[in-house]
A and B are shown apart, each in its own frame.
Chain A
Amino acid sequence: MCETSCMAQTWVVVPMYNEASVIASVIKELRKSLPHVVCVDDCSTDDSAAQARSAGAIVVQHPINLGQGASLQTGFEFVRLIPEMTEVVTFDADGQHQVQDALDMVQRLRDEKLDIVIGSRFLDNRTDMSGLKRFVLRLATGYTRITTGMALTDAHNGLRVISRDMIFELQLRQNRMAHASELVDQISLHKATWAEHPTHIVYTEYSKSKGQSVLNAINILVEIIFK
């Protein structure tokens, strides 16, 4: 397995909004194997930024709340300025992802020389979720398949690994939740090479309370149609 030395070029972008209670432990866990973490604080009202900083992350703070998509794009633009950066991991701040999954995905991106590796909850049966959530996520992947021709099994997974070249191509304009679909659109537009990787998502009570309501799918759809 790849140890710290060869991971040194991998940067982790963590979009964050009011996650003070968990962010420090998430970042500490990440930094054991991925030391370069940039946290994009979307103008949190709690002390998330201080927590993240104390855990050793670089914190980029939005002066106003813009949304998760905007946070990701800010993170991308930050890491573009780092010459040593070879790939970028996007990782949710609520601790629902596994660091080991991220490491495996980085390895895969390098081994197979891919532009992007996208996490998927549906490639194995590890992730436990409600039937309704599963159904809405299925609808979303169906929509993605129709509009981009990419046969993704999970279009809205926050865990991704993106190559340096691809980071320079991405330009997310969807500030809120529609950015996940937009990202897939841009991947297909640039004819990037991609793969899906099975990931395990742990829905704790905390991440569930922070997660989006399935009704939000309607908002996402409207935002996509009326760009």
Chain B
Amino acid sequence: MTIIFQILAIIAVIVVAIVMLRGGGARNQAIQRIFMLLFIVAAGSSIFVPQVWTFAARLLGVGRGTDLLLYITVLAFLGVAATTYRRFRRLENDLTAMARQVALARADNQQNSSEVPEPPAADGDK
């Protein structure tokens, strides 16, 4: 029976990996929010009706409900780590582009020679 859970967990890990490697956007954000909602429901239900978790765990072949909850938490954490990494990466790219423009603009002002004809145009750096 554990094999079912292992397959599901692996699929979840792959989904997280794909989300991590592919671009973001509104659709991704929507999916993230759906997961967040599910997580809130899961958290609430584990407090008020823990039997449901034990039932679900047995169904998936994972022993106890707490174990199932732990697994889901680990997966959710992975997802958070992945999206956070991506977000920081994007921020870093933006910051780099801006710092670069500042550097080039300042070099321009200092020199005021003919070697550099015009301030750098903002290019399509994503």
A82 at the interface (CB under 8 A from B): yes
Interface string of B95-126 (1 = CB under 8 A from A): 11001101110110011000111101001010
Residues of A within 8 A of B110 (CB): 59
Give the contacts of A55-114 with B (CB-CB under 8 A). Answer: 58-64, 66, 70, 73-74, 77-78, 81-83
- The proximity string for B residues 65-91 relative to A, scoring 1 for CB distances below 8 Å and 0 otherwise, is 000000000000000000001000100
For A62, what are the chain B residues with a Cβ–Cβ distance below 8 Å? 99-100, 103
Please give the distance in Å from A204's CB to the nearest CB on chain B.
29
- In-complex Cβ contact of B103 among A61, A81, A173 (8 A): A61
Q: Does B20 contact A (CB under 8 A)?
A: yes
Closest to A173 in B: B93
Q: Please count how many residues in chain A sit with their CB below 8 Å of the partner chain's CB atoms.
A: 22
Point out the residue from A60, A70, A78, A83 that lies within 8 Å of B96, measured CB to CB: A70
Judge whether A226 and B104 touch: CB under 8 Å.
no
Establish whether residues A60 and B117, one from each chain, have CB atoms under 8 Å apart when the complex forms: no
Alpha-carbon distance between A227 and B117 when the two chains are bound, in angstroms: 34
Using A66-B96, A82-B116 as known contacts, say yes or no to A74 and B111 having CB atoms under 8 A apart.
no
Q: Are A63 and B103 in contact (CB under 8 A)?
A: yes
Interface size on B, residues (CB 8 A): 24
Cβ contact within 8 Å between A175 and B92:
yes
Which residue of A is nearest B123, CB measured? A77
Tell me which of B92, B95, B103, B117 contacts A74 (CB under 8 A): B103
- Contacts A62-B99, A70-B99 known; 11 new A-B pairs at CB < 8 A: A60-B103, A60-B104, A60-B106, A63-B99, A77-B100, A78-B107, A81-B117, A81-B120, A175-B96, A226-B20, A226-B85
A residues whose Cβ falls under 8 Å from a Cβ of B: 40, 58-64, 66, 70, 73-74, 77-78, 81-83, 171, 173, 175, 226-227
User: Sorted from nearest, which 4 A-B pairs have the closest CB atoms?
Assistant: A60-B107, A74-B100, A63-B102, A62-B103
User: Can you list 25 A-B pairs, Cβ within 8 angstroms, ordered by A?
Assistant: A40-B103, A58-B111, A58-B115, A59-B110, A60-B103, A60-B104, A60-B107, A61-B103, A62-B99, A63-B102, A64-B99, A70-B100, A74-B103, A77-B104, A77-B120, A77-B123, A78-B104, A78-B107, A78-B120, A81-B117, A82-B115, A171-B125, A173-B93, A226-B21, A226-B85
